[in-house]
Chains A and B, each alone.
Chain A
């Protein structure tokens, strides 16, 4: 995985971030490309030091069942099975060694978007987490600058602990952080 990342990208720049000890991590990421899941894996292994689980759309996972062996589990937003998936994710987050990647937008949206629409399911997911869990927002942005290869800039932000903030507060924080990341990106060193 690291080889694939290193060969395809010019730079993978991650803002300095240390997860809270003894807490699982709910990693909420912006979703604009096929790479997002692989980046989740990269962040979990190299930067956040947790075991990766990743929530994927059921049709996407069925096409690539290999990802099932690497922590991928499905969600089908059109059926009642969705509640089971959210409960499964919440249960995983009761273990402080685990990290669950969720794309709160629920679909692929342009990397140029300025607003992150958080799906309602996240509210249920957060409510069901019983153990200590830190919610982290990861805003990945792609730029090229002088290189033919793209560079990815990961802006990581601490949104707070599950159970301590409401869904509306979380949505507002994510959007505030996203705007901040876009501002920071303009001045990024290259």
Chain B
């Protein structure tokens, strides 16, 4: 397993790079406000459609949630992009028993109220145009282990262009009040409801 590393210089470089990249590539990144509980950590669950989703949510955290950013990613990605560990990235390998360590580590991070852990429960990249999401079951272990310490936030991100050459990213956030999910299908159903509502809002935009 690859753990996140702390380095003030790299941290500054990552923040500067992400700021430069997002302002250059996007017309705007829109998100709605959610109330953040300072006494609890944040588990951010999001749809996974590109490398941009992590970058966009990194910015959202910087501007709105203001926690220490951590993201669970596939070991193959962590090995290919070694600098990501300085941006809070830690790895998971779904094929080995080491996966349990990664899930435990995510739960441990969530015991600190200053932390945020971003997880993409879909487990791999899907089109941004899908209507239904499917979760892999590992995340439910994290929620059970960190129960009581975390604030669960769902994020659904959609990209649009409209009358601009540069895209606009719309992030729909919702804070989940009751996060006592016993099974992965309960969690998936709750996320699906948020995803469908967000998608409906997205479709209604006309320019």
Contact = CB atoms under 8 A, between A and B. Distances in A.
A78 interface: no
Contact of B129 (A8, A111, A148): A111
25 contacts: A32-B160, A33-B162, A33-B163, A35-B165, A107-B207, A110-B160, A110-B206, A111-B161, A112-B128, A112-B202, A112-B203, A113-B203, A142-B161, A143-B50, A143-B127, A144-B50, A144-B52, A144-B128, A147-B50, A150-B159, A185-B129, A186-B126, A186-B127, A186-B129, A188-B127
Contact of B162 (A108, A146, A148): A108
Interface string B9-27: 0000000000000000100
Which A-B residue pairs are the 7 nearest by beta carbons? A144-B50, A33-B161, A108-B207, A113-B203, A110-B203, A108-B162, A112-B202
B127 to A, nearest CB: 5
Interface in B119-155: 125-131
A117 to B, nearest CB: 10
Interface residues of B, number: 28
B203 to A, nearest CB: 5
Interface residues of A, number: 27
Contacts of B160: 32-33, 110-112
Contacts of B202: 110, 112
Given A110-B202, A112-B199, A144 B162 contact: no
Contacts of B131: 114, 182
A143 B47 CA distance: 13
A147 B159 CA distance: 14
Nearest to A38: B165
Contacts of B130: 186
Interface string A146-190: 111010000000000000000000000000000000100110101
A149 to B, nearest CB: 9
Given A148-B52, A185-B129, A190-B125, A142 B159 contact: yes
A190 B125 CA distance: 9
Contact of A145 (B125, B164, B165, B203): B125
A146 B51 contact: yes
A146 B81 CA distance: 12
B167 interface: yes
A110 to B, nearest CB: 5
A82 interface: no
Interface of A: 8, 32-35, 107-114, 141-148, 150, 182, 185-186, 188, 190
Contacts of B206: 107-110
Nearest to A144: B50
Interface in B33-72: 49-52
Given A110-B205, A114-B203, A141 B129 contact: yes
Nearest to B125: A145
Contacts of B52: 144, 148
Contacts of A108: 162-163, 206-207
A150 B199 CA distance: 20
A8 B24 CA distance: 13
Given A112-B128, A112-B160, 17 more contacts: A32-B162, A33-B164, A34-B161, A34-B164, A34-B165, A110-B203, A110-B204, A110-B205, A112-B203, A141-B129, A142-B159, A143-B50, A144-B128, A144-B159, A145-B127, A148-B25, A190-B125
Contacts of A188: 127
B158 interface: yes
